Amino acid sequence: MERYKIIREIGDGTCGNVFMAYNVETNEIVAVKKMKRKFFQWEECVSLREVKALQKLIHPNIVKLKEVTMENHELFFIFEHMECNLYDVIRERQVAFSEGDIRNFMVQILQGLAYMHKNGYFHRDLKPENLLVTNGIVKIADFGLAREVSSSPPYTDYVSTRWYRAPEVLLQSSAYTPAIDMWAVGAILAELFTLSPLFPGESETDQLYKICTVLGTPDCTVWQEGMNLPRSSSFKYFQIPPRNLWELIPNASLEAIDLIQRLCSWDPRRRPTAEQALQHPFFNVCNWVPRPVHDAPDTKTNESKAHPKLELNLWDFSTEPDDCFLDLTLSLKPSFPGTDLANHVPQRTEEEILLYSGFENTPAGFWPLVPSDRPIGDVPAMPSWQQAYMVDSQSSLPGFSGSPFGLSLQPSLLENHSLAPIRQVNFF
């Protein structure tokens, strides 16, 4: 250990203290985790879960274990050094993250997880503190509780920090799966939008209660197996209807809400795997900078109001996905102010509803997406500009390309302020 000079302490966890240090031979900055418990044999060290897992898991989104050293019965892990953890990033954040930032974090977390799960491990303690960040790069850390998927249940030992703990673990299932990591990802995704935890339980019972206050109390239609778990009788104390996630996370897009809802499914079998989550439409967007309506010329003049609008109305298409989108070229039909769809969408300003075709170089159409299982009437037509969903000619349409996410398209408007015919958009 004389090769390492400690600079300062950077973390104090349950199992170890973490220090920033530098390697005097290489001048490299590293993180040294000094385990709190004493070790007497090298075999004990190498059989630790953290060592076993990290030896095998080499991935850009998993923190790299460089070395393991034992000295005077003390065990040290030498890791690549990361600037901070996601908990600090969230805590210090004054304004909400952009959806692009959140997407960037999530892709990396999911890629790390997908790799880990594919290689037979699940983490069991995913939380913002265990996601390390340097310059926008996220790496999963703290494999102290990692388990091999092939290891046999019952899993009875302590698992995961309460706020991110999956309901099957709270209800004392002894045979949980990697889906517990997916629950944690859903809670973290919500937290990235609101900057506060989605389920901040103060005890195990309160944790279940907090989950019920968001998702509603489950019943056998939602989660059959859950009804038979040892602590499922707790549910009889809280009969709570589900909240609308849009109210709780108002800055999230429809796709983000849909992903959170799927990840935080009561039933672990309904949660997408990490690999499936990466296919979710939340990640399938192009960069599009909306032009505010009031910047567009002529839109507020009497002259333009007198002109017909070109309106895209997806209700005109069949409801069969293949019928709708097979080699779809959007059909546009003229309509007139006062009779257009905008008037049928309550409580939305014109600015919120209308989408302009003035992006001459943008080969795209704009779609708000809603989960296929949600009645159209439940969903705001276009809650904000942020929720315009862009599909370009390169990308496949979500839900129709083998993606596990069936999303239906919500009718929307596409107004041509300049009255030139709107470009037709080919999706395939």
Ligand X SMILES: Nc1ncnc2c1ncn2[C@@H]1O[C@H](COP(=O)(O)OP(=O)(O)OP(=O)(O)O)[C@@H](O)[C@H]1O
What residue ranges bind ligand X (CB under 6 A)? 10-11, 13-16, 18, 31, 33, 63, 79-82, 85, 129-130, 132, 141-142, 144
Report, in Å, the least distance between residue 31 CB and ligand X.
3
Q: Residue 121: phi, psi to the nearest 5?
A: -120, 150
Beta strand ranges found along 116-275 (DSSP E) = 121-122, 131-134, 137-140, 147-148
**Do you know the residue count of the chain?**
428
The C-alpha torsion from 312 through 373 and 117 to 154, rounded to 10°, is: 170
First to last CA, the chain: 59
Report, in Å, the least distance between residue 92 CB and ligand X.
13
Q: Is 125 a catalytic residue?
A: yes
Report, in Å, the least distance between residue 132 CB and ligand X.
5
Residue nearer to ligand X on the CB measure, 88 or 225: 88
Residue nearer to ligand X on the CB measure, 130 or 416: 130
Which residue, chain included where needed, has tokens 């274990």? 65
Q: Using alpha carbons, select from 390, 296, 427 the residue that is nearest to residue 99.
A: 390
Q: Residue 22: phi, psi to the nearest 5?
A: -130, 150
Q: Residue 393: phi, psi to the nearest 5?
A: -70, -15
Q: Where are the alpha helices (DSSP H) in 57-178?
A: 86-92, 99-118, 167-170
Which residue, chain included where needed, has tokens 């000079």? 5
The type of residue at 8 is R
Interatomic CA distance for residues 218 and 224, integer angstroms: 9
- The one catalytic residue in 12, 125, 258, 327 is 125
Residue nearer to ligand X on the CB measure, 124 or 271: 124
Residue nearer to ligand X on the CB measure, 18 or 70: 18
What are the tokens at 422?
């709107």
Interatomic CA distance for residues 311 and 219, integer angstroms: 43
Report, in Å, the least distance between residue 2 CB and ligand X.
21
Give me the residues paired with residue 333 across strands.
311
The upper half-sphere exposure of residue 126, i.e. CA atoms within 13 Å in the direction of its Cβ, equals 27
Report, in Å, the least distance between residue 10 CB and ligand X.
5
Residue nearer to ligand X on the CB measure, 132 or 312: 132
Report, in Å, the least distance between residue 50 CB and ligand X.
8
Interatomic CA distance for residues 381 and 387, integer angstroms: 9
The DSSP code sequence of 175-244 is S--THHHHHHHHHHHHHHHHSS-S---SSHHHHHHHHHHHH----TTT-TGGGGSTTGGGGGG---PPPP
Give me the residues paired with residue 71 across strands.
74
Is 366 in contact with 390 (CB distance < 8 Å)?
Answer: yes
Pairing of the two strands 137-140 and 84-85: unpaired
Is 87 in contact with 156 (CB distance < 8 Å)?
Answer: no
Residue nearer to ligand X on the CB measure, 32 or 310: 32
Report, in Å, the least distance between residue 14 CB and ligand X.
3
Residue nearer to ligand X on the CB measure, 125 or 258: 125
Report, in Å, the least distance between residue 66 CB and ligand X.
10
Residue nearer to ligand X on the CB measure, 128 or 186: 128
Catalytically active residues are 125
